[in-house]
Amino acid sequence: IEADEILWSLLRSHQQRAGFARRMAEREKTRHRSELAAEFGRRAREYEADAALIERILESRRAQVTGNGSVDEESKHEEGKG
């Protein structure tokens, strides 16, 4: 499986988890369970932050692709640093 496919799958998964956690937070709020609502809200924010990071990685990878569909060698080298 290609790295981009894995990243897209991970992105969708995190977006779905964030949505689920948001819905659970709202449900717990209506049931006056503020601690659970806060926990689900925290989880939703974490999933959203992770999804945003994955999106930035995908955008960066897309920007590195040359006209022939390969990744620039210099970009590969830069990714390996740090």
Per the listing, tokens 């949505």 go with 19
Q: What is the pLDDT of residues 33-67, one digit of tens each?
A: 999 999 999 999 999 999 999 999 999 988 887 55
Q: Give, for 58, the enclosing helix (H) or strand (E).
A: helix 34-64
The whole-angstrom separation of Cα 62 and Cα 67 is: 11
Domain count, the chain: 1
Using a cut of 0.85, tell me whether the model's pTM lies above it: no
Domain residues for 8?
3-80
Task: Report residue 26 CA to chain centroid gap.
Answer: 22
